[in-house]
Amino acid sequence: MTKIKTVADLKRIKDEVQSKIKLRENSDHPEQIVQVKVGMATCGIASGAKETMKYFVDELEQQAIDAVVTQTGCMGYCYAEPTVEVTLPGKDAVVFGYVNKEKAEEIIDVYIKRGELIDGVIPITFKTIDD
């Protein structure tokens, strides 16, 4: 371990290690940040939900967007898998279907970053256990 010799050192270390628990910090106040839930039931996984989720986690991290990406169970739209539910701070949740890598990129660029709706929204017709 290298010694921390100045306050600036300390701050630098803090920035370095912050990502370690950022997930925990963010999920402590999920309502203040972007929440992304990826349907990860058998149908979702078969349709590539794992890759989609990984893409969200990596991309949001890379673009320094404070977000919490969680997995959730089957949302009932097995025909449209992978499905992703996105909640922007202060807004209702929106569910997108057929989210492959390209769609995910679009969701991040257009909906998450600019707040503009895009195609592929599935109307929500049920409640999750979290409601």
Q: How far is the CB of 127 from other proteins (least distance, A)?
A: 13
When asked if residue 7 is in the footprint of other proteins (CB under 8 A), the reply is yes
**In DSSP terms, which residues pair with 70 in a beta bridge?**
37
When asked if residue 99 is in the footprint of other proteins (CB under 8 A), the reply is no
- For the stretch 53-88, what's the b/e string if a residue is b when 16 or more beta carbons lie within 10 angstroms of its beta carbon? bebbbebbeeeeeebbbeebeebebeebbbbbbbbe
Stretch that binds other proteins, among 37-45, 80-88, 102-110, 114-122 (CB under 8 A): 37-45
Q: How many helices (H) and strands (E) does the chain have?
A: 5, 5
CA distance 43 to 28: 29
Count interface residues toward other proteins (CB under 8 A): 42
Torsion of the alpha carbons at 89, 95, 98 and 100, rounded to the nearest 10: 10
Residue with smaller CB distance to other proteins, 66 or 118: 66
When asked if residue 6 is in the footprint of other proteins (CB under 8 A), the reply is yes
Question: Site residues for other proteins, window 55-84 (CB under 8 A)?
Answer: 57-58, 61, 68-73
The residues binding other proteins (CB under 8 A) are 1, 3-7, 9-11, 13-14, 17-21, 23-28, 30, 38-42, 45, 53-54, 57-58, 61, 68-73, 129-130
